[in-house]
Structures are given as C-alpha cells and as structure tokens.
Structure 1
Amino acid sequence: MAVSMGVEEEFHVVDVESRMLVARAHEVLDRLPARGFVTEFLQSVVESNSGVHVSLDALHEDLARSRQTLSEAASGLGLAIVAAGTAPLARVGTVDATPHPRYLHMVDEYRLVADEQLICGVQFHVDVPDRDTAVRAMCVVSPWLPTLLALSTSSPFWLGRDTGYASWRTLLWQRWPTSGPAGCFASAADYDAAVTGLVRSGVISDAGMVYYDIRPSAHQQTLELRICDACPRVETVVMIAGLFRALVVDACAAVRGTGECGHTRPQWLRAMTWRAARSGLGGDLVDPTTGLAGPARAVVRTMLTRLRPTLEEFGDWELVSAMTEETLDLGDVAHQLRRIAAGGDLTAAVDFLMAQTRTRPATGAPVPAPGRR
C-alpha cells in the first residue's frame, strides 16, 4: 500500500551573538530558492515545505536537505534557525507581522494574542481516500494526538522564563478562538457547514483560521496534524510522520467498520492535551484506551503496539520503534533544555537548539542522536 505524506516545518530566526529572536525572516527568505520556503504570520519565522513522499527515508533526506539550505542562508547573515515550540530568548513587541492584509487584520482583531504568537509548530499531511473519510477519521485519531504532542514537546521557556510546562506553545496556541480539539462530525458537509458558520459569525475571517489540532486540508486530499511543537531533531519529525500515517490509515479503516472512537468528547480531549503540554514525557499522560493517567512511557508504548501491524505493512516498524525508544530514553526536548539551563543560562539552551536543528544532508537511513548507538 502506498500512502503519501508531507511535512511543513516552522523555524525561528535568532541572532547568533545575542541568541535573541529577531524579525529578519525576510532577509533569510531573500537568500533562499523561490520554491519550498515561505514567510509566516510574524517576521521571525520561516516555513519550509517538504515534497510528497511515500517512504520515511525519502522524507528524512528532503527535510535534512531543506534544513541545511535554510541554515546556510541564515548563517551568511549572522543568524541561525531554531526548530522549537518557542525561542527561549525573545521579547514581545520586537517582532512585527508580515505586511500582508490578512495578517495585518489579524493583528488588529486579536491584539495581544497575535502579538504573542512567537511560536513554531510542525504540520504533517497524510493522504486520505476522500474528504468524508478524512472528517470521520479525525474523530478516531483525536484521542492519540496528545501522545504525539508529548513526543514533540520543546517549549518550556517563554520570554526568558521557565513556564513549568513542557509545551508552553500549546497554551499560547489554544488562545485562538478556533484552536484545540476538532470534535466529531458526521460528514465533510457537516464539517464544512460548521466552518462556514464560524466565518459567517465574524469571529474568524476565513476558513484558513480554523486551527484545530487536526483538520482536513482545504487544498489537498489529506488529513493535517497541527498539534506538535516544532522539533529540533529531524529524526523526531520523521518518527511522528510515521506514527501519524499509521494512525490515519487505521482510522480510515475503522470508519468503514464500527467507527469506535473512544474518548472523543471535547472536554476529554482538551484535558488530555493539557496533561501532555504540562508534563511531556516526564510525567503521566491520559491513556486513550482507559481514560486513566499512566506513565508517559507506557502510554507511548501502548500506541506503538497498537500501530505495529500497520507500521510493519509500510516497512516502518523497525525504524519508527527504534526512534520511539530512543526518544523515550533521551526524554523530551523540554526536559533536556531544563537540564542544560539548570544554572539559569538560557544562552546554552539556545545553543543546544541551534546545534540540534542544523543537520547534514541525509545519505540513507536517519542518523542516531549524538552520543548514542
């Protein structure tokens, strides 16, 4: 079976000397190819769009190549790129929105919520048979999204302070009026009617402002995952891509069967997401199979075991399971950053993120983490 996937990565632009977030994305973009890199809402972020791939190895090579190109463009300007949910060192009020009418309207309408949008995520697209299936599959996949978030958590610091959360980006992101759990819909028409109603209400200006944790793409025949923090290591991105593809494939099969969804009520999903954002892999997660708190490592392994048949079908089992176990051994990036900055030196945390984000071109299978075999 061939099911294609693609990734959109967002990167902070930071000054190499000060390690501060800076509004110089346009300068970096001027040095990049016209295809594959785009501006974002704020001028401190550059987005990289991968090609469409069937194999995880090909996706890894693509992402690594894009990161190298982006890093080289930034370094020539005394800048660096950082893939993380938040940049540890930043100041609100120093970064303007990209001068586009849509973005300027958002600044005017949402005020401090927009001003404090100093965050980066990574989005995953997986092909689906049709839009109806995509909408119904969202309901089945949703209980496992907080587990994917926990694997990606990389934003414990905000404006130079430790927030106590593994993903403070999640808390900032959830302030938008149409973010968070998507809920369940009977069909694509049902979902589209809800979005049309939101636009008609005036709360959002267009369908692109529906920022659910998972959503059917408006422009492609894909299901899009939006819950994750940006990930410093490209291997983490590849791992989550493999897990998400398996979740989507299983969900598409499920909606043709019983359609059993588990814990999908919005209050459950929001609570599960908060738990993942608070603790990452360093505490408990809510197990979607029981609705009870359990050690994060156990919940991740439960998901991995459930997905094993599909991962094996794609030839992804050995790679994804090894990457997942490595991630559990290393711990999430949020806790790694806290250890590095334990003495209060956030510049060391930024240096770690810059080094982890830089990557050499892939020459085959994804490489292991530094210092590991």
Structure 2
Amino acid sequence: MAVSMGVEEEFHIVDVESRMLVARAQDVLDRLPRRGFVTEFLQSVVESNSGVHGSLEALYADLAHSRQTLSAAAGGLGLAIVAAGTAPLARAGAVDATPHPRYLHMADEYRVVADEQLICGGQFHVDVPDRDTAVRAMCVVSAWLPTLLALSASSPFWLGADTGYASWRTLLWQRWPTSGPAGCFDSAADYDAAVTRLVRSGVISDAGMVYYDIRPSAHQQTLELRVCDACPRVETVVMIAGLFRALVVDACAAVREAHGCRPAPPQWLRAMTWRAARSGLGGELVDPTTGLAEPARAVVRTMLARLRPTLEEFGDWEIVSGVAEETLALGDAAHQLRCVAAEGDLTAAVDFLVDRTHAYPTSSVSLLREVGRHVRAER
C-alpha cells in the first residue's frame, strides 16, 4: 500500500554574532534555488518544501539535503538557520512583514498578533483517498494531535525569557481567530461551507487563514498536520511524519469501514493541547483512551502500541519507535534547551539549536534503525 507524505519546515534566520532573530529572509532566499524554498509572513522566516515520498528513508534524505542547502546559503551571509518553535533571542516589533499585499493586509488587520508571529512550525502532509475521507478522518485523529505536539515541543524561550512552557509557540499561535481544534464535519462540502462563512464574516480574508491544528489541504489531496513546533533534529521530523501517516491511514480505514467517530468536544481538545504545550514530555499528558492525566512517556507508548501494526506494514516501526524512545530518554527539545541555558546562557541555547538544525552527512536512517534496536534492547 503506497501512501505518500511530505513536509514543510519553517526556519528562523539568526545573526551568527549576536544570535538575535533578524529580518534577512529575502537575502537568504536570493542565494537559494527557486524551487523548494519560499518566503513566509515575516521576513525572519524561510520555509522549505520537501518532495512527495513513500518512505521515511527518502523523506529523511530530502529534508537533510534541504537543511544543508539552506545552512550553506545563510552561512555565506554571516547568518544561521534555527528549527524551533521560537528563537530564544528576539525583539517584538523588530521584524517587518514580507512586502506582499496579502501579508501587509494581515499585518494591518491583526496588529500585535501579527507583529509577534515570531514562530516556526512544521507541517506534515499525508495522502488521502479524497476530501470527504480527509474531512471525516480529521475527527478520528484529533485526540492524538496533542501527543504529537509534545514530541515536537521546542519553544520554551520567548523574547529572551523562559515562559515556563514547553511550546510557547502554541500559545502565540492560538491567538489567531481560526486556530486550534478543527472540529468534526460530515463532508468536504460541509467543511468548505464553514470556511466560506468564515471568509464572508470578514474575520479572515481567505481560506488560507484557516489555521486549524489539522485541515484538508486546499491544493493537494492530503490531510495536513499543523500543530507541531519546528523540530531542531531532522530525525524528530521523520518520526512525527511516520506517526502521522499511521494515524491518518488508520483513520481513513475507520471512515471507510463506517466505524464512526465519537468526537471529543473542542474545549476538551483545546485543554489537551494546552497540557501538551505546558509540559511537553516533561510532565503529564491527557491519555485520549481514558481522558485521564498520565505520564507523557506512558501516553506516547500507548500511541506507539496502537499504531504498531500500521507502522510495521510500512516498514516504519524500527525508525519511529527507536527515535521515540530516544526522545523519551533525552527529553523533548524544550527540556534540552533549558539544560543548555542553565549551564551557559541563551546564546548557548541558540548555538545548540543551530548545531542540531544542521543535518550532518554522517547521520542516516539506517543508523536510526540501529539506534532503535539498541534502545529497545536496553529496555
């Protein structure tokens, strides 16, 4: 069974000397190939778009190559790239919107919310049979999205201070009027009608401003995950891609077999997301199977156990479970950043992110398989 996937990664641009976030995205883009890299809302972010892949190995190679290309382009300008939900050192209001009519309108309409959009996420796409299935599958997978957020959590610092959260990006992101849980819809037509009503209300200017945690793509036959922080390590990105593909495949099968879905109330999903953003992997998460608080590692392992048949079907089990266990052992990126900052300072935390963002040529998915075997053997 071939189910393709792709990833969009957002990267902060920082100055190598000061480690501060800088509005130099266009300078970096001018040194990059025209295909595969695009600007974003603010001029401190560059986005890379992977190709479409059927295997985690191919996805890994693509993402690693993009990061190496982007790092080289930035390095030639005295800059570096950082994959994290927030850049530890930044100044609010110091970065302008990209000079495009749509972005300039957003900056004017949403004011401080737009000014403080100094965040980066990772978006994951998985092929679906059709839009009706995609819309119904959203409801099935939504309760597991906070767990994916916790695995990606990488934004404890904001404007030079510790927020106390593992993913402060999530709290900043949720200020937009159409962010958060997507809710459940009967069909693609039902979903599209709801989006049309939102646009007609004037609250948002176009369908692209529907920032739900998960949504059917407007341009591709995919379901798109949008809840995750940008991840410093490409291995983490590959792990989440594998988990999300398995979740979507299982959800599509449930829709096809008319198993139905008992939807979780939006307020409950929002509370689960807050819990994941607050604690990451360092505390408790809400277990979707029980609705109760459980240690994060237990919830992650429950998800792995549920998805294991599908992960094995795609040949992803060793990679995904191995990186997941390694992540549980080391802590999420937010925890690691705090440890680095405690031993040094926030400039050390930026250096840590720059180092982790760069995909080293010696790293490979085949090595990850060995890591997975070693981690499971130790358990």
Query: How far apart are residue 93 of structure 1 and its match?
Result: 1.4
Query: How far apart are residue 27 of structure 1 and its match?
Result: 0.4
Change beyond 3 A, Cα 1:347–1:367: farther
Change beyond 3 A, Cα 1:95–1:344: same
Paired letter, 1:37: F
Match of 1:279 in 2: 279
Under a length normalisation based on structure 2, what TM-score does the superposition of the two structures give? 0.96
Match of 2:350 in 1: 350
Query: How far apart are residue 255 of structure 1 and its match?
Result: 1.1
User: Any conservation in 2 of the 1:184–1:264 contact (CA below 8 Å)?
Assistant: no
Match of 1:90 in 2: 90
Deviation digits for residues 336-367 of structure 1 (CA, Å, limit 9, x no counterpart)? 11111115610010000000001124775265
Query: How far apart are residue 259 of structure 1 and its match?
Result: 3.6
Match of 2:297 in 1: 297
Hey, what's the Cα distance between the residues in 2 that align with 1:367 and 1:42? 36
Query: How far apart are residue 72 of structure 1 and its match?
Result: 0.3
Change beyond 3 A, Cα 1:243–1:223: same
Q: Secondary structure in 1 aligned to 2:227?
A: coil
Match of 2:26 in 1: 26
Query: How far apart are residue 319 of structure 1 and its match?
Result: 1.2
Query: How far apart are residue 156 of structure 1 and its match?
Result: 0.2
Hey, what's the Cα distance between the residues in 1 that align with 2:168 and 2:257? 37
Hey, what's the Cα distance between the residues in 1 that align with 2:131 and 2:172? 29
User: Any conservation in 1 of the 2:12–2:120 contact (CA below 8 Å)?
Assistant: yes
Hey, what's the Cα distance between the residues in 2 that align with 1:58 and 1:310? 19
Alignment of 1:221-300 (within 5 A): 221-262=221-262, 264-300=264-300
Alignment of 1:303-314 (within 5 A): 303-314=303-314
Hey, what's the Cα distance between the residues in 1 that align with 2:309 and 2:262? 20
Query: How far apart are residue 262 of structure 1 and its match?
Result: 4.5
Match of 1:147 in 2: 147
Q: Secondary structure in 2 aligned to 1:227?
A: strand
Q: Secondary structure in 2 aligned to 1:208?
A: helix
Hey, what's the Cα distance between the residues in 1 that align with 2:318 and 2:230? 24
Q: Name which of structure 1's ranges 250-259 and 121-130 shifts more when overlaid on structure 2.
A: 250-259
Match of 1:203 in 2: 203
Alignment of 1:46-195 (within 5 A): 46-195=46-195
Match of 1:3 in 2: 3
Hey, what's the Cα distance between the residues in 1 that align with 2:101 and 2:267? 35
User: Any conservation in 1 of the 2:8–2:47 contact (CA below 8 Å)?
Assistant: yes
Hey, what's the Cα distance between the residues in 1 that align with 2:308 and 2:342? 38
Query: How far apart are residue 199 of structure 1 and its match?
Result: 0.1
Query: How far apart are residue 144 of structure 1 and its match?
Result: 0.2
User: Any conservation in 2 of the 1:65–1:362 contact (CA below 8 Å)?
Assistant: no
Query: How far apart are residue 263 of structure 1 and its match?
Result: 5.3
Q: Secondary structure in 2 aligned to 1:13?
A: strand
Unaligned 5+ segments in structure 2 are: 375-379
Unaligned 5+ segments in structure 1 are: none
Deviation digits for residues 140-173 of structure 1 (CA, Å, limit 9, x no counterpart)? 0000000000000000000000000000000000
Paired letter, 1:276: A
Deviation digits for residues 95-114 of structure 1 (CA, Å, limit 9, x no counterpart)? 00000000000000000000
Q: Secondary structure in 2 aligned to 1:70?
A: helix
Paired letter, 1:275: R
Hey, what's the Cα distance between the residues in 2 that align with 1:42 and 1:362? 33
Hey, what's the Cα distance between the residues in 2 that align with 1:51 and 1:348? 33
Q: Secondary structure in 2 aligned to 1:223?
A: strand
Change beyond 3 A, Cα 1:114–1:162: same
The Cα RMSD (Å) is 1.5
User: Any conservation in 2 of the 1:65–1:360 contact (CA below 8 Å)?
Assistant: no
Hey, what's the Cα distance between the residues in 2 that align with 1:364 and 1:297? 25
Match of 2:219 in 1: 219
Q: Secondary structure in 2 aligned to 1:228?
A: strand
Figure out how many residues of one structure are paired with residues of the other and give that number: 372
Hey, what's the Cα distance between the residues in 1 that align with 2:173 and 2:97? 16
Query: How far apart are residue 331 of structure 1 and its match?
Result: 0.6
Match of 2:377 in 1: none
Hey, what's the Cα distance between the residues in 1 that align with 2:166 and 2:345? 18
Change beyond 3 A, Cα 1:347–1:54: same
Hey, what's the Cα distance between the residues in 1 that align with 2:30 and 2:366? 30
Identity %: 84
Under a length normalisation based on structure 1, what TM-score does the superposition of the two structures give? 0.97
Hey, what's the Cα distance between the residues in 2 that align with 1:361 and 1:187? 44
Change beyond 3 A, Cα 1:366–1:151: farther
Match of 1:327 in 2: 327
Deviation digits for residues 188-229 of structure 1 (CA, Å, limit 9, x no counterpart)? 000000000000000000000000000000000000000000
